[in-house]
């Protein structure tokens, strides 16, 4: 028989490691080819990884919470049928299996204590809505899989334990210890890497009166098409047009190779807050998008990000990122560059301020702008010119919809 040592491959753009979030199978289970066996999480998304062959699970290479490097063994499967010679084609699914032939019989083992119960995503969602911990549910399905009926039956039983966060509480000192897991751990690693970049920052305030007037004028048209028009698509469009005159900011930097990759297309990322943490979807070739297209794509990709359904392709390959912290009522902030990108633009809350108007004090709606750049790639003079061009476009917003 053939024993498949199933290894973790690069499940996304340049991913070096992934965290095991959930095992969908246990040792001794019979799995079929392309059946989802494990969910892993990178700094971009959660990914279901399928089995490369039909066979019996002989061992699991990690427990929930472990972080595996690319090339590490995920699991071993003893194939029960013929193994294709082109098993390397499974790499396209995010896996790099390696096969070796052995002669031994299959054995069935009980579920390992570090493996989560076997259940479908819909069943897990039902359990979560009922506050039921699947560890307390006995499965009646194949290989002990928990069904919706099992969850409902458990929910009607007395003394059901509710699921809770993975925390350890020290009652003696009044301190709660929370394990850094999943997306939060990935964000922590990414942000630590980002702070190695020598940031330079430019701030500017502009009169947003004309911008808000144009948005109000166009909003009814967008509502008829089912899209709520915010100022964000205009901010995106202004950055995209300014990048055409300042291509050094539309780049990615490989510090190890000492290479700057400058792009013709703007692959625009936009920071999106989710329940699990910050995620940055990417609109590829956004330089071809109108304000209307930017608005609809922002809504679509943000929804995918918030439900953790965005693909690695939709979360990678960015060349420039914007963050609109004004949507949370924040006046201004200092955004952090996402490596290997070399710049990021942030926009604060539009608010009334007294500013000079035709030589006299006047009250206007003012938009704060901040752009952070990698000082290894761009100097202050370049950054100032770039921010000034963004400001000019927003001061004359009709140029954004031509």
The pLDDT tens digits along the chain (402 residues) read 688 999 987 665 556 788 898 999 999 999 998 899 999 887 667 788 999 899 999 999 999 888 888 889 999 999 987 666 544 334 334 333 333 333 333 322 233 333 456 665 556 666 665 667 776 787 776 556 677 667 766 654 444 333 334 555 565 677 888 777 777 887 888 888 898 999 999 999 999 999 999 999 999 999 998 888 999 999 999 999 999 999 999 999 998 889 999 999 999 999 999 888 899 999 999 999 999 999 999 999 999 999 888 888 898 899 999 999 988 888 889 999 999 999 999 999 999 999 998 899 999 999 999 999 999 999 999 999 999 999 999 999 999 998
For residues 351 and 207, state if they share a domain: yes
pLDDT value for 264: 97
- pTM reported for the whole predicted model: 0.66
For residues 223 and 315, state if they share a domain: yes
Last residue of a domain, one of 95, 116, 137: 116
Candidate list 93, 199, 276, 375, residue with the active-site label: 375
Residue 143 located in a structural domain: no
For residues 111 and 207, state if they share a domain: no
pLDDT value for 123: 66
Residue 296 located in a structural domain: yes
Candidate list 193, 264, 303, 379, residue with the active-site label: 379
For residues 112 and 259, state if they share a domain: no
- CATH number of the domain residue 97 falls in: 2.40.50.100
Taking the C-alpha atoms of residue 339 and residue 337, their distance in angstroms, rounded to an integer, is 6
Residue 191 located in a structural domain: no
* Residue owning tokens 């479908």: 120
pLDDT value for 262: 97
Residue 357 located in a structural domain: yes
Residue 212 located in a structural domain: yes
How far is CA 279 from each of CA 46, 70, 231, 252, 314, rounded to the nearest angstrom? 11, 22, 20, 19, 11
3-class SS at 172? coil
pLDDT value for 339: 93
For residues 228 and 106, state if they share a domain: no
State which residues form the domain around 87.
2-116
b/e burial code for range 255-294 (CB count within 10 A of at least 16 → b)? eeeeeeeebeebbbbbbbeeebebbbbbbbebbebebbeb
* Residue owning tokens 């989802």: 36
* 86 is an active site residue: no
* 374 is an active site residue: no
pLDDT value for 369: 98
pLDDT value for 214: 97
Taking the C-alpha atoms of residue 140 and residue 152, their distance in angstroms, rounded to an integer, is 12
Last residue of a domain, one of 82, 116, 150: 116
For residues 256 and 374, state if they share a domain: yes
Residue 154 located in a structural domain: no
- CATH number of the domain residue 382 falls in: 3.30.559.10
């Amino acid at each position: 028989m053939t024993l498949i040592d199933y290894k973790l491959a690069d499940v996304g753009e340049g991913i070096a490691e992934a965290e095991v979030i959930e095992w969908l199978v246990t040792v001794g289970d019979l799995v079929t080819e392309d059946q989802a066996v494990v969910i892993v999480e990178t700094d971009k998304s959660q990914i279901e990884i399928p089995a490369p062959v039909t066979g019996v699970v002989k061992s699991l290479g990690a427990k929930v919470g472990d972080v595996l490097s690319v090339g590490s063994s995920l699991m071993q499967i003893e194939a029960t049928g013929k193994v294709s010679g082109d098993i390397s084609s499974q790499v396209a699914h995010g896996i790099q299996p390696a096969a070796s032939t052995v002669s031994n019989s299959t054995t069935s083992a009980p579920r390992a204590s570090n493996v989560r119960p076997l259940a479908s995503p819909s069943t897990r969602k039902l359990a979560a809505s009922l506050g039921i911990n699947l560890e307390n549910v006995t499965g009646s399905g194949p290989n002990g899989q928990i069904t919706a009926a099992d969850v409902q039956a458990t929910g009607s039983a007395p003394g059901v334990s509710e699921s809770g966060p993975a925390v350890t509480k020290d009652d003696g000192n009044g301190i709660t210890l929370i394990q850094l897991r999943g997306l939060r751990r990935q964000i922590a690693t990414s942000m630590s890497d980002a702070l190695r970049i020598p940031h330079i920052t430019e701030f500017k305030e502009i009169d947003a009166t004309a911008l808000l007037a144009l948005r109000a004028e166009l909003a009814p048209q967008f509502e008829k098409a089912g899209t709520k028009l915010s100022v964000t698509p205009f901010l995106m469009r202004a950055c995209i047009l300014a990048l055409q005159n300042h291509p050094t900011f539309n780049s990615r930097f490989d510090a190890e190779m000492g290479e700057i990759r400058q792009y013709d297309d703007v692959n625009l990322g936009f920071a999106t807050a989710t329940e699990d943490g910050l995620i940055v979807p990417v609109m590829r070739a956004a330089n071809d998008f109108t304000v209307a297209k930017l608005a609809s794509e922002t809504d679509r990709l943000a929804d995918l990000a918030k439900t953790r359904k965005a693909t690695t392709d939709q979360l990678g390959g960015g060349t420039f990122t914007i963050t609109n912290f004004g949507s949370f009522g924040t006046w201004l902030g200092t955004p952090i560059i996402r490596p290997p990108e070399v710049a990021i633009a942030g926009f604060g809350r539009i608010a009334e301020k007294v500013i000079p108007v035709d030589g006299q004090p006047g009250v206007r709606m003012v938009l704060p702008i901040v752009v952070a750049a990698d000082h290894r790639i761009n100097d202050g003079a370049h950054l100032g010119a770039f921010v000034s061009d963004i400001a000019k476009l927003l001061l004359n917003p009709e140029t954004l919809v031509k």
